[in-house]
Amino acid sequence: MNNYYAVIEAGGTKFNCAVIDEHKQFLARSRIPTTNPNETLALVSDFFEQARRPNQPYTALGIASFGPIDMSPSSPTFGYITSTPKPGWSNTDMVVPLAKQLKCPVAFDTDVNGAAYAESLWGAGKGKEVVIYITVGTGVGGGVVINGRPVHGLIHPEMGHMLIPGHPAIQGVCPFHTDCVEGLASGAALSKIWQQPAEQLEDEHQAWDVQSTILSQLCHNLLMSLSPQKIILGGGVMAKPGLIEAVIEKTQISLNHYLTLPHSVQLQDVISPTGLNQDSGLLGALALAQTQAIELPNERKTQNGDT
Ligand code: ZN
């Protein structure tokens, strides 16, 4: 029988869940609101139980999650969301109960590392050695793939919390750092700073000029630090028409001819929209499940828990 995968893109407002076969065909999908861990994870578990083939366990489970998360298999809190500002979700075990229930190997990474990975395999970053995926949605996150592997180091990249110069017109709202990218340019920050939801801000509103300035500062720093061949800008806020073009233009100005790009490469080839549209998150979880899944460590398999 063909392989098939249980995949989750766990976000701050919803959990996108899907069952996908090895040819990237979606066999089932569901969107579950992110409320509290007990409620949301119970609905996730029900969905995968119902979508399971009789007598054939899932080949692997892939979870691409909002963070910060613990992805070190040797850690006693492997599989946990750690210190998220999202109420109720700190110290939530995202992995072990579900992997035990589904009885299959599991891969766990950040949503943005997953998306960067899928884009590097099948999307806008295909064939590139250094691919960065930035999502500008409710929050701002960044994932990195270098030479075909999602980057893990001390923990994992948290590019949304990089400090940048910002803009004199606004003050950031991140509870941890004030003037980080997320505190200045996330959908939630836009709503707080301009006192209306981002999607209701008119085209002429100053917010968009400020927004493109801030995102260009981020792109400038990423170009200087990791030398990516692709910076993919995704997420709901990036759907604003004209925003990515403005970011590219301002990044060009900010670079001030310092970088000499390789022959025939232009900045608009480097900074680009997603190649996988809305599915980069789920396909990221699939890519993780297909290539990075591990068996649970024994001590976690036998740990008492809600199986
Ligand atoms: Zn921050």
Q: What angle do CA 124, 161, 271 make, to 5 degrees?
A: 25
CA of 41 to the centre of ligand 1 (A): 27
Which pLDDT score is estimated for 307?
A: 41
Cis peptide before 54 (omega within 30 of 0): no
User: Please, which residues have CB within 8 angstroms of residue 1's CB and are 6 or more apart in sequence?
Assistant: 53, 56
pLDDT at 12: 85
Mean pLDDT of 36-58: 96
Instruction: Find how far residue 67's CA is from the centre of its chain.
Output: 9
Please give the share of the chain, as a percent, with pLDDT higher than 70.
98
Closest CA to 234 of 210, 215, 213: 215
189 CA from centroid of ligand 1 (Å): 11
> What is the rounded CA–CA span in Å between residue 24 and residue 60?
14
On the 0-12 / 13-18 / 19+ scale of CB atoms within 10 A, 273 is middle
Confidence of residue 200 (pLDDT cuts 50, 70, 90): very high
CA 159 – ligand 1 centroid, Å:
9
Those residues whose C-beta lies under 8 Å from the C-beta of residue 189, and which sit 6 or more positions away, are 172, 173, 174, 182, 183
- What's the pLDDT score for residue 298? 74
Give the per-residue pLDDT at 303: 67
- What is the per-residue pLDDT across 256-291, written as a single tens digit (0 to 9) for each? 999 999 999 999 999 999 999 888 999 999 999 999
Indicate whether 67 pLDDT > 90: no
Query: Which of the four pLDDT bands, split at 50, 70 and 90, describes residue 20?
Result: very high
Indicate if the pLDDT at residue 79 is higher than 70: yes
Contact 67, 155 (CB under 8 A): no
CA distances from 111 to 11, 19, 69, 98, 259 (A): 8, 17, 10, 17, 30
Burial of 23 (0-12, 13-18, 19+ CB in 10 A): exposed
* pLDDT value, residue 301: 74
**Ligand 1 mean position to 59 CA, how many Å?**
37
Please check the confidence at residue 238 and state whether its pLDDT lies above 80: yes
Q: Quote the pLDDT of residue 4.
A: 97
Of 12-16, 19-23, 244-248, least confident by mean pLDDT is 12-16
Residue 148 has pLDDT above 80, yes or no: yes
Q: What's the pLDDT band for 168 if we cut at 50, 70, 90?
A: very high
Is pLDDT of 306 > 60?
no
Determine the distance separating the centroid of ligand 1 and the alpha carbon of 296, expressed in angstroms: 32
Instruction: Please state, in angstroms and rounded to a whole number, the distance separating the CA atoms of residues 306 and 212.
Output: 46
Ion ligand 1 neighbours (CB, 5 A) are: 161, 174, 176-177, 180
* Proportion of the chain above pLDDT 90, given as a percent: 87
Check if the beta carbon of residue 181 is closer than 8 Å to that of residue 167: no
pLDDT (mean) for 75-103: 91
Task: Read off the tokens for 81.
Answer: 């969301």
Is the predicted pLDDT of residue 160 greater than 70, yes or no?
yes
> What is the Å distance from ligand 1's center to 162 Cα?
7
Pick the closest to residue 246 from 229, 259, 233, 257 (CA basis): 233
pLDDT of residue 304: 58
> Distance, CA 26 to ligand 1 centroid (Å)?
35
